[in-house]
Amino acid sequence: QKEVEQNSGPLSVPEGAIASLNCTYSDRVSQSFFWYRQYSGKSPELIMSIYSNGDKEDGRFTAQLNKASQYVSLLIRDSQPSDSATYLCAVRPFKAAGNKLTFGGGTRVLVKP
């Protein structure tokens, strides 16, 4: 079992719709969770972090965390073509050195005009 798992996609959504991305993790005691966006040929950039159960909203993005189910999700509302990218779920393991993160394989999102 991979430490962090994501559906590779592509997830195709029409412009203006909600994109829903899911991520599961294996380390039950992980405390910190992140979503990074990576455009093709570019480096990952942080878009959301979440540390406690529930929802966290930032603009059009909402992260959801359920530690009991070891599940993190990202919702993108009013999806735009510029949201087309790969979204990486990252987890900081409990005994991580520094701020070391473990990444999932990413979900590719395609927003169609």
Partner 1 sequence: DTGVSQNPRHKITKRGQNVTFRCDPISEHNRLYWYRQTLGQGPEFLTYFQNEAQLEKSRLLSDRFSAERPKGSFSTLEIQRTEQGDSAMYLCASSRNGLGDGELFFGEGSRLTVL
CB of 32 to partner 1, least distance (A): 5
Q: Does 63 bind partner 1 (CB under 8 A)?
A: no
4 touching partner 1, by CB under 8 A = yes
- Burial of residue 81 (CB within 10 Å: 0-12, 13-18, 19+) is exposed
Q: Judged by CB under 8 A, which of 62, 85, 106, 111 binds partner 1?
A: 106
- Least Å distance between CB 13 and partner 1? 20
Closest CA to 24 of 70, 55, 63, 64: 70
